[in-house]
Amino acid sequence: MDDLFSDAVRQLLADQCTPQVVRAIESDAASPARQSLWQHIEDAGFADALVSESQGGAGLSLPEAHPLFEQCGAYAMPLPLAETVLARALLAQAGVARPTGSIAFGQALSDADGRVRCDTVHLGRVADWVLARQDQHCLLLPTAKASASPAGFALDATLEWPAADCADAPRVAAAPDLRLLQACTAAAQLAGALMRVFESTLQYANDRQQFGRPIGKFQAIQHQLSVISEHVFAARMAAQIGCQIDHQGDHQNNHQRDSLTPDRLRVAIAKARASEAAVEVAALSHSIHGAIGFTAEFDLQLFTRRLHLWRQTGGSESYWHDVAGAALVEQHDGLTVDLIRRATDVAFA
């Protein structure tokens, strides 16, 4: 089943999320390519992958949806599909009507007049909605009614809504930890992008000729490729661990709630390791490619820019190292190695 799901996601993105489509959306957020790509995703039902079958979704758990998140990274997804998958499941669980269109995550800041601002919303320029955490609840806000200003990455935006739109917005009463969820999916997307960068760099090293032989035959290049592969496969395994659900959470919640709650320590391990790998792999891949890797016409930069973007999304490695360190300090029983073993000893289906 996992292979069938992963293959279906891969086939759709290979056909519809090409480098040409990614470039078109990056250059114009209102490009017809954006609507076309999202419509294909909607038609395939992937946006409702985590929604229960009784509510019209596929009823997958978070670990089962990992391949979808990873493929978003492997194809440099320029729309917030990973966030939408989680947001729709959260809305369905809370009994809030799910809107059509894509949903980004944000952190809401309010002023005295009731206006709400979300700084640096990841993919805010191309999202239809923002699920914004405000104190102990979340607001579902339409981007069409927000004033937008550029922020960070080409498709990110700082968004601000007038008080009237905020007062009427649908609410999720029990606010989920959006940063935890975003870090979980960002680690998986990093894993997909890292693998894509490794494969393309390996291919380039085998094809590029210098001094009468492929540059991949030179020991220095082989060493760089081996370091890249170590980071890529370590990050990929860590990202799978990060998508495991929290079995120690509130057992009064139903199965769907459990399937949406990743274990915090496992997410910390996943995001920290994947973010560390992003820095190293981006640098080494560009070193092997030389100047061509930085050009707009070459596909490598589509992925290495996202490595740096997703490294920061949901918190960088330093933030999640602190989380992991706090868990070690707070452990009162057993050895440190026991905590690490419990966090990483996962049986994958």
What digits encode the pLDDT tens for the residues 142-182?
999 999 999 888 899 999 999 988 888 999 987 789 999 99
Percent of the chain with pLDDT over 90: 79
Q: Which residue has the higher pLDDT, 236 or 246?
A: 236
Of the two residues 304 and 134, the one the predictor is more confident about is: 304
pLDDT at 116: 94
pLDDT for 258:
54
With 70 as the cut, is the pLDDT of residue 1 above it?
A: no
pLDDT per residue as tens digits for the range 309-336: 999 999 999 999 999 999 888 876 777 7
pLDDT at site 347: 63
Q: To which CATH superfamily is domain 178-344 assigned?
A: Butyryl-CoA Dehydrogenase, subunit A, domain 3 (1.20.140.10)
Structure tokens of 339? 């905590």
Give the pLDDT confidence of 45-78 residue by residue, as tens digits. Answer: 999 999 999 999 999 999 999 999 999 999 999 9
The per-residue pLDDT of the chain, averaged, comes to 91
CA-CA distances (angstroms) from residue 232 to 197, 226, 227, 237?
Answer: 9, 10, 9, 9
Whether residue 278 is predicted with pLDDT greater than 70 in this model: the reply is: yes
pLDDT at 250 over 70: no
pLDDT above 80 for 260: yes
197-219 pLDDT, tens digit per residue, is 999 999 999 999 999 999 999 99
251 pLDDT more than 50: no
Query: Residue 249: its pLDDT value, please?
Result: 44
Confidence of residue 256 (pLDDT cuts 50, 70, 90): very low
In the chain, domain spans: 178-344
Per-residue confidence (pLDDT) for residue 252, from 0 to 100: 40
**In the predicted structure, residue 253 carries a pLDDT above the cut 90:** no
Sign of CA dihedral 194, 225, 3, 248: negative
Determine the average pLDDT of the residues in 95-104. 95
Whether the per-residue pLDDT at 131 is higher than 90: the answer is yes
Two structure tokens written together for 57? 């979704």
The pLDDT of residue 4: 82
Q: Does residue 242 have a pLDDT over 90?
A: yes
